[in-house]
Amino acid sequence: MTPIRLAILGSTGSIGRQALDVVRELPGRFEVVALAAGRSARLLAEQATEFRPRVICLTGTGAETGGTGRGHAGSHGEIHDDEDEARAALRRGSWELVRGEAALATLATLPEADVVLVATSGRVAMPATLAAAQAGKDIALANKESLVIAGELVTAAARRSGARLFAVDSEHSALWQCLMGESSRTVRRMILTASGGPFRTWPLERMQTVDVDQALAHPTWRMGPKITIDSATLMNKGLEAIEARWLFDVPIEQIEVVVHPESIIHSLVEFVDGSLKAQLGWPDMKLPIQLALTRGERLPRPDPAVRPFDLASISRLHFERPDTQRFPCLALAVEAGKEGGTAPVVLCAADEVAVEQFLLRRISFMDIPRVVDAALEAHAPERVQSLEHLLEIDARARQTAATICDGMRK
């Protein structure tokens, strides 16, 4: 059987590491032809030594020059593995080493890559996603910004080239699985489930006192700080609604969110005859990653990766409507998705700035939606013209959000 050849962008992050676990667990089914990482040079060197890709890429600070010193402090104070020894190991290998963010598009369009996993976080992945779509590649997409900000451009390019988008997020993968064998014309509603985060039961007054450590304590998933805070504010679920609009070509008005604290039902689809289909399972990102990498082919997962699913032991599942008074970010995201054009660009940019300032303890948890709301109010939405146009709007929105945050600190 011919292996599926993978280019993995963001191989040292959570999704990238789990994707490589899937490759290990299914020997012979995949071949890694490219790996890209930000600043984790040592882990990238270890991955390259194990999987022997043709091309590797290091994009982070110091990548263009090779870097010096013992490490680089990231935006949240973590120390990244970019020591000289690790960089030297990258240069010594049999692979081709390329550097810088612009090189991600090169990896995303390699002729020998069958599937491009876009697991790089942030807007840096957007040019690579668009390039892969223009080149007709199958894309396993775990980067939110690519569709939230540039969904119109990416999906239009995919239609022209024949590229296919495969969801990696557990909620979008659930919708995709529910739609297998169904006609999109028969869909009445898509229902995204949300755990509700750590503050699901907190009264509004108490939420004014949320600190960083409390917000980073997600009850279900282990994620990076930005997405964990977005989950706590329910911004993440609003962004997923915008993503679903582009992934499945449905109006955002047909996409709803319901809080489901057990995180057993990952999402549902309601059809025009009133029937509903849901995808259930233990919270486990390897399942949607594997399904995306195989482009929908179901393969056995080796024990002990899969534990038996026992409905009787679960006993009860709970559901409730999200409270947009306590979680205004959800409503702001949905409204930006309805507005369309450049509004989602401002939404994402302002949220990223606000979350950063919260993590630095410069603004409060409930200031995050205030910053996003004010930035959206200050912006007159425009039609999307190009990726360069979106990046210009993004830069301006970040400046606006930073100014708003500065005002809150005085």
Q: How many CB atoms lie within 10 A of CB 275?
A: 11
3-state DSSP assignment of residue 203: coil
Q: Are 336 and 346 in contact (CB under 8 A)?
A: yes
Residue 128 lies in a domain: yes
pLDDT tens for 207-245 read 999 999 999 987 666 667 888 899 999 999 999 999 999
Q: Is residue 299 part of a domain?
A: no
CA distance linking residue 138 with residue 179, whole number of Å? 19
Give me the pLDDT at residue 306, please.
Answer: 65
Q: Which of 168, 183, 218 is the last residue of a domain?
A: 168
Distance of CA 131 to the CA centre of its chain: 18
Query: Which residues span the domain enclosing 98?
Result: 4-168
| Residue 220, pLDDT score | 65
Report the C-alpha gap between 354 and 39 in whole angstroms. 24
How does DSSP classify residue 320?
B
109 and 253 in a single domain? The answer is no
pLDDT value at 356 more than 70: yes
| Residue that finishes a domain, picked among 168, 200, 234 | 168
pLDDT at 87: 73
CATH code for position 345: 1.10.1740.10
Question: What's the whole-number average pLDDT of the chain?
Answer: 90
Distance CA 196, CA 321 (A): 10
Q: Is residue 303 part of a domain?
A: no
Say how far apart CA 8 and CA 323 lie, in whole Å.
37
Q: Is the pLDDT of residue 88 over 90?
A: no
Quick one: pLDDT at residue 69? 30
Helix, strand, coil percentages (3-state) for the chain, rounded to 5, are 45, 15, 40
Residues 190, 95: one domain? no
R_g of the chain computed on alpha carbons: 21
Whether 250 and 341 map to the same domain: the answer is yes
Domain boundary (168, 199, 220) is at 168
Residues 137 and 187 in one domain: no
- Residue 14 domain-assigned (yes or no): yes
Specify whether 148 is located in the same domain as 216. no
Does residue 325 form part of some domain?
yes
Place of tokens 């609604």: 241
In this prediction the pTM is 0.90
Does any domain span residue 305?
A: no
Tell me, yes or no, whether 228 lies in a domain.
yes
8 A C-beta contact, residue 61 and residue 34: no
Q: Judge if 189 and 277 occupy the same domain.
A: yes
Lowest mean pLDDT among 13-27, 82-96, 303-317, 378-392: 82-96
Q: Are residues 232 and 106 both part of a single domain?
A: no
Residue 356, token pair as written in the block: 């950063």
How confident is the model at residue 324, as a pLDDT?
93
Mark whether 125 and 206 lie in a shared domain: no
CATH classification at residue 101: 3.40.50.720
Q: Are residues 242 and 364 in the same domain?
A: yes
Number of domains in the chain: 2
Q: Which residues of 133-163 are buried (b: 16+ CB within 10 A; e: fewer)?
A: bbbebbbbbbbbbbbbbbbbbbbebbeeeeb
> Is the domain of 146 the same as that of 242?
no
pLDDT of 29-52, one tens digit each?
A: 999 999 999 888 899 999 999 999
10 Å CB burial of residue 95 (0-12, 13-18, 19+) is: buried
